[in-house]
Amino acid sequence: MNYGKVTEALVEELRGLLGPKNVICDAERMEAYSHDETSAEEYGHMPDVVVTPTSTDQVTAVVRLANRERIPVTPRGAGSGLSGGAIPSLGGISVSLEKMNKGKGLFYAGYPMSLETCFLGGNIAENAGGGKAVKYGVTSRYVLGLELVTPTGEVVWLGGKLSKDVTGYDLTHLIVGSEGTLGIVTTAIIRLIGLPKAKSDLLVLFRTPAEAIACVPEIIARGTIPVSMEFMDKLSVETSCGYLNESLPYEGCGAMLLIEMDGQDAATVDADAERVGDLCMEKGAIEVYMADNRTTQERVWSVRRNIAEAFKVRCPVQSLEDIVVPTASIPDIIPELDRIAAKYGIAIPCYGHAGDGNLHATLVKDPDMALEVWKKAEPEALEELYAAVTKLGGKISGEHGIGLKRKKYMAEFMSPVEMGLIKAIKMAWDPKGIMNPGKLFDLD
C-alpha cells in the first residue's frame, strides 16, 4: 500500500489545527513515541510527527487530514503495550492520547499487572486482561459504550449506558480488542463496581506444575470463584525471590499457585479461602500459606509481580509470550516448555494467569549464550512453542495482543476464512488503510 508523506506543509497544517504545542517533531522528543514495552531495538520505529490532541474534535481533525493525504495514523495510550501495537511502524502520525486520559470512578475490575502505568483507552483497544480476570472477566465485560473517531474522520457513538443492547451488530465489542486498527476511542462508558471490602490470599506449594494446574479446574468446579489464580513455576519463584531478597520456603516445591479470594465481609472470605486451601491439600499440595493482611499480601504478590523484572535483570534478551490454552490443557503445555527449553539451551520460566489458561512463558537467553546463537534459536523455539499451543487448541495471545510482534504467526492460529472476514471488516471501516497499519495483519 502506498502512503503519502508527512511534509513540512502538513506539519504546519497540524499546528494550525491543534496549536503548536500539541505537535511534536523534534527527534529527541519523538523518540519516546517510537517504542512501547517490547524491545525498541527489534520493533521500534520513529513517527514522522507526534500529535497530542486534547479533544475529540482535534482527534477528528487529525484523522480527516490523514485520510485525505493517506498518511498512517498510530493511536497511542501510555505506551505500556507488550505487542508493539502503539509503534508507528510505517512512520506517519503518532496520535498520543496522553492529554485525554481522564476518568473518575469506583473500582475498575480489569486490573492489568501494569496498573500503575497503563491508560484505559489502551486497555480497551487491546481488550486487556490481568490478574483479576478469573472472577471479574476482561476489559470488554466492562465497556458499555464508546465514542469512536472512525478512520475516515467521522465521530460515532457505539453502545451506551445500557446493560442490555441487541440493537444491531455489537460494534462496541468489535472495537474492544481491535488494537487501534478501526479507529480511535475518545470516550468510553465503563461499568464500575463497588470495591470488595475484604480479601485473602493463599500461596500454595506443589511438588510439580502438573499437580498445581490440576487444582485449577477443581477449584472453579466447586463454585467458589477466586479473583485470581496465578501460576508460578519454580524457576520464576526462585528468580523473583533472588531479585527481591525474599526467602519463601520453596524446598521440594516445583510450582506455586497464588490464589486470591475477595468479598464483602472478612468472615465469608476467610471461610472461602479455607475451603480452597483444604481442596488444594486434598489434591496433594505440600503446604498452604495464608496472607490475610496488607503486609503479608504485599509480600506474596510482589513475588508474582516482579518475575518479569527479575528476568530482565538476569538477561534482558528475551521474548515475553502470552499463550492461552484451554484451562484443562495447561498440564500438557508445561512438559512442552521444558522440552523446548532443553533442546535450545534457553530458560523458559512459566508464570501467569492459570485461572484463564493464559501463561506468560518467557524465552530467556542464557547470559552466556552468544547473541547469534540466540537469534537463530529464538524463532525456531517460538515455532515449536506455537505448534504445541495449536495442537492443544490454544491461541497465540490471551491479553497482550498481536500488534507488530506476533502478526507473522496469525495464519497458524486463524483459518483463511476467518482472516478473510477480518480483512473485509478492516476495508469497510478503513478503505484507505491508514489506521494503525501493519498491525494484526498486512493488507496487500
Instruction: Please give the residue ranges that form the binding site for other proteins (CB under 8 A).
Output: 28, 31-32, 202-203, 246-249, 274, 277-278, 281, 287-291, 293-296, 299-300
Would you call 429 helix, strand, or coil by DSSP? helix
Give 296 or 390: the residue with its C-beta nearer to other proteins: 296
Minimum distance from residue 436 beta carbon to other proteins (Å): 22
Is residue 159 helix, strand or coil?
strand
- Considering beta carbons, is residue 241 or 435 the nearer one to other proteins? 241
What length is written for the chain?
A: 444
Min dist. Cβ of residue 369 to other proteins (A): 17
Q: Map grid coordinates 480511535 to a residue.
A: 184
Minimum distance between the CB of residue 256 and other proteins, rounded to whole angstroms?
A: 12
Shortest approach of other proteins to residue 43 CB, angstroms?
Answer: 16
For the bound state, the minimum distance from the C-beta of residue 373 to other proteins, rounded and expressed in Å, comes to 20
Nearer to other proteins, 13 or 274 (CB): 274
- CB nearer to other proteins: pick between 115 and 244: 244
> Which residue, 69 or 211, is less far from other proteins as judged by CB?
211
Cell representation of residue 406: 506476533
Q: Distance between CA atoms of 349 and 235, rounded to whole angstroms?
A: 6
Q: State the Cα–Cα distance between residues 431 and 7, nearest whole angstrom.
A: 22
Residue 203 CB, shortest distance to other proteins, in Å, is 7
Min dist CB 27 to other proteins, Å, is 10
User: What Cα–Cα distance (Å) separates residue 30 from each residue in 259, 322, 402, 409?
Assistant: 42, 29, 24, 30
Strand intervals (E) in 2-53: 23-24, 49-51
Strand positions, DSSP E, 119-227: 143-149, 155-159, 184-190, 198-206
Nearer to other proteins, 67 or 80 (CB): 80
CA distance 407 to 254: 34
DSSP 193: B
439: left (phi over 0), alpha (psi -120 to 50) or beta: beta
Instruction: Give the nearer residue to other proteins in terms of CB position, either 10 or 279.
Output: 279
